[in-house]
Structure 1
Amino acid sequence: MTSFDRLAAKPLFLCSFRSFFLATALYGVALLLGWLGFLATGIGLPEVPGGPIVWHAHELMFGFGLAAVAGFVLTAVPEFTATPAFGRRVTLVLLLCWAAARLAFWLSGVLGAGGAVLAALLNSGFMAAIVVLVAPRLWRDPERRHLSFLWGLAAMWLAVGGFHADVLRGLYPMRWVLAGAGAMMVLIVVAMSRVSMRIVNDALDAERLRRAAEQGDAVAGERPRLPGEDDDELPAYRARPPRRNLAVFGIAAHTLAEFALPGSPIAGWIALAAAAAVLNLLNDWHVGRALLTRWAFMLYAVYWMMALGYGSIGLSLLGVAVAPSAGLHLLTVGAMGLSIFGVLCIAGRTHSGYELDMRPWVPVAALAIGAAALARAAAGLPGMPVAGLQAASVAAWALGYGLAAVFLGAVFLRPRPDAGTGCEEPMDEAA
């Protein structure tokens, strides 16, 4: 057995999400702490084309963000399409490609034109590999129910390629990071519609059992009523396609408008429309007390961050005294950061053979990530202490993802605790 095969045999590579989710948490902490060091003390950051802000934005979106996307789709697509899981060797090769892409971009300013070409090839190649791996499975699915993932991934691939094409042409590439943020919001909406169906309906079932017990109706051995069965007060939750599609359309329209007409009032009005569409999507979530459970409310908060982000961007483009960075950070630190954390906790544990983690660290970490987004957005308001809010934001983010790295890393680095041999959910209640 080669060294490569021995490494691939480790529990970390049992399923694709394990290594990528751990890389996401660790890189999220390291990336933001490095950024804080630059802001607070001026310590050197990698010399990349475009400067420190471009490095920070690129790595947050195309480094941290795409590690989480890779872990999710490489695990979810086989499940959604009833096809075999991607093998350990595939996962290890992709992780090494992701890591090499990070290193190449970090060194791109030092290595000159050759370094920029290498960074372009590795970063674009990583995203291309993800698309090539999942596209046939999504397309061959008889009902093609999940093609929206493919379009979102293709848009992200275009954003990565466009960024590096601008770098090679000597242009400022930030417009492609903003386009990548739009593609990421679309992917979040698409993924959340799948995850939320399970999480919210499980919360509703638990609420029905609680009510039945309070009313003395619970009978030993009797199954709980299914969602929607003779219970007008607690109807089943459905992530309705029309509302989801309207939100996706609004996000895509704003992304295109901002790309074609940067800084224009037209893009501002469309951003406000996107915010309204996301708020309209939240009408599906108002299911009463079940919404206040930790997992359902965490996912619900993601959409609020997204709506507030697009609302802030719209107001800024229409002349209100709000820095554009306020809305952008509500999208990236808030909506993206909180949704990725939720996926790490929910999919990461259940597909490792564990039940959902009900320990206090989860809400503490989620609140810290939410606070990080709000503090960073507040730094874009007039008269606010920018340096202090930026430092508070980074500290809160590092706390949230640091906790994730510790508690979830312990799960990803060891074998399953049950009889499972792959990425299936827990095989027995004792897990």
Structure 2
Amino acid sequence: MLKRLLAAPILLCAFRPLFLLAAVAAVLCMAAWLGFLLLGLPLPAVPGGPVVWHAHELLFGFTFAAIAGFVLTAVPEFVDGPAAPRPAVLALVLLWLGARLAWSASGAVGPWPAAVLNVAPVLVLIALVAPMLWRDPARRHLSILWALLAWLGGTVGFYAEALRGEPPLRSLHAAIGVVMVLVVIVMSRISMNVVNSALDTLGETTVSYLARPPRRHLAVACIVLFTLADVLVPGAPTAGWLALATAAALFNLLNDWHLGRVLLRRWVLMLYAVYVAMALGYALIGLALLAGVGSVSGGRHLLAIGALGLSIFVVMNIAGRIHTGRELDARRWIPVAAGVLLLAAVGRAGWSWWPADGALLLWLAGGGWLFAFGGFIAHYLPLYLQPRPDGGLGCEGVMDSD
């Protein structure tokens, strides 16, 4: 039985089960959240209440599964290392599933089982990729390891607060900051391939795209500083100014992308939109803290839906195709779903400005999220249950141009 499971196509590469689990978690958790907000349906009783359950599953459930799937696929490619062993991937999947059940049951059995089962998969992920990242002679990708260690710290911090009976929102806010840093780190690597491939397709031989380190480092530094202020002195003017500085640094980073008509290519434009959503999210947070315009929650949701959600959706559609030996999906549903996700982010952020229309905006935001990730499940589940069409036996694959 175990041997047959380990030989199944779903475990051919780590991203297959983990991307699917991320998408399923995105759909189920959002459906439950909408049911709670709009229909009065109950949510699991957990430390911190419904808002904490929602944020926890968005970050430690959906987001972590997507991060793990990407990292276990990309790092071996970056450093020419071995793919994660199938038993380790299966163990990671089972730990992730156990963590979801333990967290939802934490109101009845206490937070200790959830703490152990949510920290364990992060440790497994770090144990699988840290040796490869460290042994790389150039050590060009150690920033991924530092981000994973920061994620581990956020996970431990969340459960330390929960076990002490304190509201664990600070650790959730810190986790959002870690994800934003990881998005910038990962996007710099993906965008180099995507944008330059699109330039080649257009016959643009006089220009090339380079994700310049100074701009990227400035953006990362600003995100880190804002996150520290947000955790240590929440609501203080210092956090507001740092949020505006972060928005400015992200808009400055976008100057690398302004290379003419290539920006209108679908994959390039979707990745560009991630940075725009991130910059606007931090700008809204800064305005809320300094001028009382809108709310910090609106900015956080623009980060969570627009930047985090869209980046994961796009990366899963890129990596989730090329590493099954297939060309990138050229059908219209992907840019449509990406556009709907952005509208969902704007709708949820807009609730901060027009709370009287809250139900309509919540349906818009939740429906857009369900449409995008439900579409991913519908299109990719059949692919991940099948062997590679090119006869490959692992994660290998070459990115095709758009």
Q: TM-score scaled to structure 2, two decimals?
A: 0.98
Q: C-alpha separation between the residues in 2 aligned to 1:411 and 1:199?
A: 22
Unpaired runs of 5+ in structure 1?
210-226
- Deviations for 1:303-362, whole angstroms, at most 9, x for unmatched residues? 000000000011111132211111001111110000001111101100011000001111
Bigger mean CA deviation after superposition, 128-137 or 246-255: 128-137
Q: C-alpha separation between the residues in 1 aligned to 2:227 and 2:122?
A: 20
In the alignment, what sits opposite 1:284?
256
- Secondary structure in structure 2 of the residue aligned to 1:45: coil
Q: Residue 166 in 1 paired to residue 161 in 2?
A: yes
Q: C-alpha separation between the residues in 1 aligned to 2:185 and 2:101?
A: 30
- Deviations for 1:241-284, whole angstroms, at most 9, x for unmatched residues? 11000000000000001111011010000000001001100000
Letter in 2 for 1:199: V
Q: Residue 424 in 1 paired to residue 378 in 2?
A: no
Contact 1:11 1:415 in 2 (8 A): yes
- Secondary structure in structure 1 of the residue aligned to 2:387: coil
Letter in 2 for 1:104: A
Q: Residue 204 in 1 paired to residue 199 in 2?
A: yes
Aligned partner (choices 109, 125, 129) of residue 124 of structure 2: 129
Unpaired runs of 5+ in structure 2?
none
In the alignment, what sits opposite 1:30?
28
Q: Residue 394 in 1 paired to residue 366 in 2?
A: yes
Q: C-alpha separation between the residues in 1 aligned to 2:292 and 2:391?
A: 58
Q: Residue 150 in 1 paired to residue 148 in 2?
A: no
Structure 1 residues 47 and 82, CA gap change in structure 2 (3 angstroms)? same
> What is the 5 A alignment of 1:45-124?
45-112=43-110, 116-124=111-119
How many pairs align? 401
Q: Which segments of structure 1 move beyond 3 Å, counting only runs of 4 or more?
A: 426-429
Q: C-alpha separation between the residues in 2 aligned to 1:53 and 1:397?
A: 18
- Deviations for 1:17-46, whole angstroms, at most 9, x for unmatched residues? 111001111110111011000001111101
- Deviations for 1:92-142, whole angstroms, at most 9, x for unmatched residues? 110110110111001000113xxx111001101111211122111111110
Contact 2:284 2:299 in 1 (8 A): yes
1:15 Cα shift?
Answer: 0.3
In the alignment, what sits opposite 1:360?
332
Letter in 2 for 1:336: L
- Give me the identity figure in percent: 52
1:383 Cα shift?
Answer: 5.1
Contact 1:63 1:102 in 2 (8 A): yes
Q: C-alpha separation between the residues in 1 aligned to 2:182 and 2:382?
A: 28
- Secondary structure in structure 1 of the residue aligned to 2:342: helix
Letter in 1 for 2:70: F
Contact 1:420 1:427 in 2 (8 A): no
1:370 Cα shift?
Answer: 1.0
> What is the 5 A alignment of 1:260-409?
260-382=232-354, 384-409=356-381
Contact 2:235 2:289 in 1 (8 A): yes
Aligned partner (choices 158, 161, 176) of residue 171 of structure 2: 176
- Secondary structure in structure 2 of the residue aligned to 1:208: coil
Q: C-alpha separation between the residues in 1 aligned to 2:6 and 2:32?
A: 30
- Secondary structure in structure 2 of the residue aligned to 1:198: helix
Q: C-alpha separation between the residues in 1 aligned to 2:284 and 2:274?
A: 15
Contact 1:418 1:427 in 2 (8 A): no
Contact 1:365 1:404 in 2 (8 A): no
Q: TM-score scaled to structure 1, two decimals?
A: 0.91
1:427 Cα shift?
Answer: 11
Letter in 2 for 1:25: A
1:428 Cα shift?
Answer: 11
- Secondary structure in structure 2 of the residue aligned to 1:397: helix
The higher radius of gyration belongs to 1
Structure 1 residues 27 and 142, CA gap change in structure 2 (3 angstroms)? same
1:4 Cα shift?
Answer: 2.1
Letter in 2 for 1:203: A
- Secondary structure in structure 1 of the residue aligned to 2:273: helix
Q: C-alpha separation between the residues in 2 aligned to 1:330 and 1:426?
A: 32
Contact 2:247 2:278 in 1 (8 A): yes
Task: Kindly report the root-mean-square deviation, in angstroms, between the aligned alpha carbons of the 2 structures.
Answer: 1.4
Letter in 2 for 1:188: V
Q: C-alpha separation between the residues in 1 aligned to 2:144 and 2:219?
A: 15
